[in-house]
Amino acid sequence: MGTLDSRLDGRLDNKVALVTGIGAGMGTGIARAYAEAGATVVGADIDEGAGRAVMDTLGGPHRFVRGDVAQVAECEGLVADVVAGNGRIDVLVNNAGVTKSLGFFDVTEADWDRIYSVNARGLFFLMQAAARAMREQGGGRIVNIASIAGKGYRGTSNVAYAGTKGAVIAMTRISASQLARFGINVNSICPGVTRTALFEQVIGELIERTGVTREQAEANAVKSIPLRRANDPEDIAALAVYLASDAARNVTGQSWNVDGGLQWD
Ligand SMILES: NC(=O)c1ccc[n+]([C@@H]2O[C@H](COP(=O)([O-])OP(=O)(O)OC[C@H]3O[C@@H](n4cnc5c(N)ncnc54)[C@H](O)[C@@H]3O)[C@@H](O)[C@H]2O)c1
């Protein structure tokens, strides 16, 4: 029996990571966990006040950069900023995402465009910009935050959102296959119900839209989870650390559920 290779300790020392959507929820949890695991974190968010406040709690060498991932030029600008300021980009975590609680017949063109521009288009163009730099460096890691909505979870916020997350899962596979020869691993995490600002927003909209009480809405969200608990952001961050670490060097193209057993693959 061999001993575990010392490089496979799950640490992120000396890695430079760009994490999007760090101003709240999972992004905050991932930025903190990456900093604790030894990475240098460049945290991006469209919300400058919230983003700076989170990155200030981490202190140097970590830093905030403002960016709207719905703008392709800003996706390219974010990666250029990391490479100029930190010399390289080892890890991209595509976490920023938006949604809204909507019934099938209520989804508008504006809803569709907004949700796709962030969750699918922005995510792809950030992967493309980061992968260009990683190809030059000889490798890197991309971690996309998808959702069990992309695998058909019936409790999702709306059909367009589910479509963006299915797109993330498909793009993760194809990107993994097309970037493997450059030493770039691409994986997704599919969170289930997770207690974040977005969760609070969607529960509030659901209450307004359907008239259920807060107690019912929260109980409904949790009662079908076999382990009977919603995620905290740290549950997602733990897998995001693993996927960026050398321990996951031979893992690519996968989309991992973290959901208390809610959705089989
Ligand atoms: N919360 C859940 O139950 C849940 C479940 C499955 C998947 N997800 C996914 O997890 C990811 C994080 O969700 P969360 O619940 O932490 O959300 P959140 O709303 O709590 O935080 C998202 C952060 O992203 C930022 N952001 C939004 N649009 C942006 C843009 N265009 N450019 C840059 N930053 C932007 C926001 O300002 C915010 O700080 C999203 O991709 C979401 O779809 C969430």
> Ligand 1: which atom is nearest the Cα of residue 69?
32
Protein residues with CB under 6 Å of any ligand 1 atom: 20-21, 23-27, 45-47, 50, 67-70, 95-99, 118, 145, 147, 191, 193-194, 196-199
pLDDT given for residue 7 in this prediction? 78
pLDDT given for residue 76 in this prediction? 98
**Strand residues in the chain grouped as ranges (E):** 16-20, 40-45, 63-66, 91-94, 140-145, 184-191, 255-258
* 212 burial type by CB count under 10 A (0-12 exposed, 13-18 middle, 19+ buried): middle
pLDDT bin (cut points 50, 70, 90) of residue 3 is confident
Q: What are phi and psi of 153, to 5 degrees?
A: -60, 120
Catalytic residue among 34, 116, 153, 161: 161
Let me know: does 223 contact 192? Beta carbons within 8 Å.
no
Residue of 154, 196, 232 best suited for mutating to test ligand 1, as the one with most atoms within 8 Å of CB: 196
Domains of the chain: 16-192+232-257 (3.40.50.720)
Nearest-CA residue for ligand 1 atom 7 is 147
What is the distance between the alpha carbons of residues 105 and 15, in angstroms, rounded to a whole number? 45
Residue 201 tokens read as 């927003």
Least confident piece of the model among 4-18, 49-63, 68-82: 4-18
Nearest-CA residue for ligand 1 atom 41 is 97
161 assigned to active site: yes
> Ligand 1: which atom is nearest the Cα of residue 198?
19
| DSSP per position, 149-174 | GGGT-TT-S-HHHHHHHHHHHHHHHH
pLDDT given for residue 1 in this prediction? 55
pLDDT given for residue 6 in this prediction? 79
Peptide bond into 61 cis (omega under 30): yes
What is the distance between the alpha carbons of residues 118 and 16, in angstroms, rounded to a whole number? 23
pLDDT given for residue 91 in this prediction? 99
Average pLDDT score, the chain? 97
> Ligand 1: which atom is nearest the Cα of residue 230?
3
Please write the tens of the pLDDT for every residue from 21-48. 999 999 999 999 999 999 999 999 999 9
Residue 167 tokens read as 């797109």
